[in-house]
Amino acid sequence: MFSYRHAFHAGNHADVLKHFIQVQLHKYMNQKDTAYTYIDTHAGAGVYALDSAQAVKSGEYVDGIARLWGRDDLPPALAEYVDVVRKLNPSGKLRWYPGSPWVADAETRLEDRLRLFELHPADIRVLAENVRKLEAHHAEQGARARGRRILVDHADGFHGLKALLPPPSRRALVLVDPPYEVKLDYKHVRDALEEAIKRFPAGTYAVWYPALQRMESRQFPDRLKRLPAKEWLHVTLSVAGPRADGNGLHSSGMFILNPPYTLEATLRETMPYLVQVLGQDAGATFRIEKGTPVTGAVAARGGIAGAPRQPVGNARRASPLSGGGSLRLPGQAFGDGARPRAEGEGEQGGTAGRAPRAQAAGQRGPRNEETARGERAAAAPRGAGTGSRTQARGPRTETAAAPRGPSKRGGSGRS
């Protein structure tokens, strides 16, 4: 428990995937004037120093955000994401990396609300202090929200989510991003989403997950497809083929329930570029699929290894927009890079086509160091939260101290 610290992984390829999509989700939400609530069930520390001992030790950002930093040919969605990172690094030197709460702060408006949950005793203090500084900075700039714009809760985000739905404004964007350091996290995500959708079917729910070879991970997307949302969109980014020892986070996915209708086209435009720039060997690839909930008895067989592959549910082929990718019916196994593809097999234009590389900096271990050494069967940290509300105050600890945030003006805040 509590072995996971995001500071080791901040800015890696998985963060790039997650945060560029998060930016797009906010931009879509911002198209309507009505305020919304952003709920981050697993917020982390908020912002990360890339020259901290943790970040330097893992060096993961080197094969993530650092590869995009100097580029002048970014597709629009990546340019918008890199812009958020740039605002934290006005000198031009990449030193700070925004976690999901920071991305949310940059992309929301004064009238929107941020509700952040974090359970780690050290990270909650860092997050609270970082948020306190951020709000002080906004206030200095004259940006004052009515009521508390950002609330930080030292509590279990799976439980906390329930209590916040439906949100007062009847609009919500939810990011679910646990460490998956215990297998039960997969189940907790599914269960929490099932409950959340029951309470608030209209919400947009974005789930990050590590696309590992372990069974829970392989079956996870198919389990999410059965949730009763109107639609889902699923994308994975593999920066390398799987390693022979099964270690290393080479691939991750974002599963979005009730996605913006514009997101698929954005992914199709962006993912080939990401594969090209972040790809570490010939196994680098991406996949995009979308559909409506998978239901019925056939669906129940969809994720079972060895079961005959049958098209199930209502998945439909995504329209061929710009860029390549691979699409599949939900009954087919979604390889998630778990199997190196043979020459010439498979996807249209999804691979990086690069020479294999020796051990890459971003491949030092999976997202969770604990998992790299062997799976833990311990119970997930449910109910461990105090439930006490941290009023964005508290001593500073060792992780990143927040630099001054970008100024937040009142009004639309749209770019």
Alpha carbon 399 to chain centroid, angstroms: 21
Which residue in 398, 415, 333 sits closest to 8, CA to CA?
Answer: 398
| Residue 44 contacts ligand SAM per CB under 6 A | yes
For ligand SAM, the binding residue among 24, 58, 100, 326 (CB under 6 A) is: 100
Across-strand partners of 115?
Answer: 39, 151
Concerning whether 177 is annotated as a catalytic residue, the answer is yes
Give CA–CA dist 255/273, Å, rounded.
20
User: Among 67-75, 114-122, 230-238, 313-321, which window interacts with ligand SAM (CB under 6 A)?
Assistant: 114-122
Task: Sketch the per residue contact string, 202 through 241, with ligand SAM: x for CB under 6 A, - otherwise.
Answer: ----------------------------------------
First-to-final CA distance of the chain: 40
Closer residue to ligand SAM in complex, CB, 253/381: 381
Give CA–CA dist 67/361, Å, rounded.
12
For ligand SAM, the binding residue among 13, 67, 113, 120 (CB under 6 A) is: 120
For ligand SAM, the binding residue among 16, 17, 25, 43 (CB under 6 A) is: 43
| Residue 119 contacts ligand SAM per CB under 6 A | yes
The one catalytic residue in 123, 177, 222, 281 is: 177
Closer residue to ligand SAM in complex, CB, 42/328: 42
Task: Name which of residues 349 to 388 contact ligand SAM (CB under 6 A).
Answer: 381
| Residue 38 contacts ligand SAM per CB under 6 A | no
Write the CA distances from 393 to 127, 128, 136, 364, 401, integer angstroms.
Answer: 9, 6, 12, 34, 13
Across-strand partners of 257?
Answer: 205, 232
Q: What's the min distance (Å) between Cβ of 191 and ligand SAM? A: 12
Position of tokens 């610290």?
A: 5
Give CA–CA dist 33/248, Å, rounded.
42
Q: Which region holds residue 182: left if phi is over 0, alpha if psi is between -120 and 50, else beta? A: beta
| Residue 157 contacts ligand SAM per CB under 6 A | yes
For ligand SAM, the binding residue among 105, 123, 289, 370 (CB under 6 A) is: 123
Number of residues that bind ligand SAM (CB under 6 A): 21
Q: Provide the annotated active-site residues.
A: 177
